[in-house]
Every structure is written in structure tokens, then in C-alpha cells.
Amino acid sequence: MENSGHIPLKEISQMIDHSLLHPTMTDKDILAGCELAKKYQTATVCVKPYAVPMARDATAGSGVGVCAVIGFPHGNSTTGIKIAETLQAVKDGANEIDMVINIGKALGGDWDYVGYEIQVVNDACLAGNAILKVIFETDFLRDDRIIHLCRLCSQMPVAFIKTSTGYGFVKQPDGKYAYRGATEYVVGLMRKHADPKVRVKAAGGIRTLDELLRFRALGAARIGATATESILEEAKRRGYI
């Protein structure tokens, strides 16, 4: 679909957190990713905690923010470690934090634990003038758990709720591991049950401009992507300016 002229290219690029999270990425890879994010003026580069100072320096003055992941990718760190990791990342220059919930606690219905952890990490973010995105890892959760998390996060409120890490692989009947990541169904569910002031980030498997636009239409304000360059080059070819 060609651009009707209603969506500026910058609005598309500002939806993207350029993801630099694969465990095999070297410092050289991360720095190259920062250059790409600056070229396309994405919202942020999303990096592992150790890489925050490097990303901060590489993006300084560019308008591209630095997002750090916390408790990534499985959410099993203690609450104290998540707080410490958040405080260190903010001190090092992160202005956005993507934190994975304790998935087992959510599955077990221990909402006091889950809610407290989200609250104290959100408080740590706000103390450093950063914002929190709470990663649900929706592949592991039934609808009722996703809805409850939306309501918990709306009570805080946090800045964003997020579908997936991109690494939430589920064992299939044939023994292989796969994940769905962001789906139109789950993004619609999250948008429906979260307070309007809580934004939704879709992440995991979004690789094309058409997918980005579909998630935008469903109410996603941000996406996580590794295919940033191909998405934005496709937008240019279609007439987005």
C-alpha cells in the first residue's frame, strides 16, 4: 500500500526501538547498530546493560535515545537485582528501561509479587527521569494473565507494556523451539485492557513495513525491530517522506 500522505517517514522511524540484543553481537556490531539508528533517527537503540555507556556515547547529540533491557530475557532475577540493574543502567545513560516480569510468578497468580516488582522498578526509573516498559512475554501467558498484567501496569501507571523479548521460545510438540512474538490478536488485547495513557510496544518477529503499519493501526505506539533498515527503506520506496 502506497503512502496516502498522512504518515510522515519520521513518525514511522520514531516508532522503532532498534534492537541490538542478540547474544552473539560484538561491540563492533553494537556500534554499527547505533550508527544505523542515527541514520534513520529511530526512537532508541535497545541494548544489553553492559553496552549502555557505549551506546550513550555513540548516540550523543543525535536525538536517538538509549533503552536498556533488565532481567532479560527470562525475568528470573531477584527484585533487588532488577532494581540495581535499573539504577545502574539509568546512571550509565539509559533513558528507557525494558524489564521482563517474573513469568513464573505471573503464571502462578502471585500478583502481589509481580505488582510489587513492577512498582519498585518503575519507581527506580522515575527517580532517574527514565521510563519503564514492562515485558509480558505473551507466548507463555493465557489471555486472563495478560489482561491482569494490563490492569496492574495501568494502576502504577507505567509508560509502556510490551509483548515479547524476541527470545521467548516455546517447546513445540515435535521437540523444536519456536515463538510467535507480537501478534495482532495479543496487541489488540493489550490495547483494549490497558489504560489509554499506557502505551503498547509490539516486539518479536516484526520485519516488514506492512506489519509495522498493522500494529500501529491496532494501537501500538512503539515496536522493537532488528529489520529497521529494510522497513524504513521500504517506506521510502513507497513514498513516505
Q: Which residues pair with 203 in a beta bridge?
A: 224
The three three-digit cell numbers of residue 211, written as one number = 506489519
Count of domains observed in the chain? 1
Q: Contact 101/72 with Cβ under 8 angstroms?
A: no
Whether 2 is covered by a domain: the verdict is no
CATH number for 78: 3.20.20.70
Catalytic residue (one of 162, 171, 210, 236): 162
Residue 38: active-site member: no
Whether 4 is covered by a domain: the verdict is no
Whether 211 is covered by a domain: the verdict is yes
**CA separation, residue 105 to residues 111, 156, 172 (Å):** 7, 18, 22
**Among 141, 52, 140, which Cα is nearest to 98's?**
52
Whether 58 is covered by a domain: the verdict is yes
**Domain of 174, in residue numbers:** 9-237
Whether 165 is covered by a domain: the verdict is yes
Catalytic residue (one of 38, 82, 98, 139): 98
User: pTM of the entire structure?
Assistant: 0.95
160-215 confidence digits (pLDDT tens): 999 999 999 888 889 988 888 999 999 999 999 999 999 999 999 999 999 999 99
Alpha-carbon gap, residue 219 to 29, rounded angstroms: 32
Residue 201: active-site member: yes
41-91 confidence digits (pLDDT tens): 999 999 999 999 999 999 999 999 999 999 999 999 999 999 999 999 999
Residue 176: active-site member: no
Whether 185 is covered by a domain: the verdict is yes
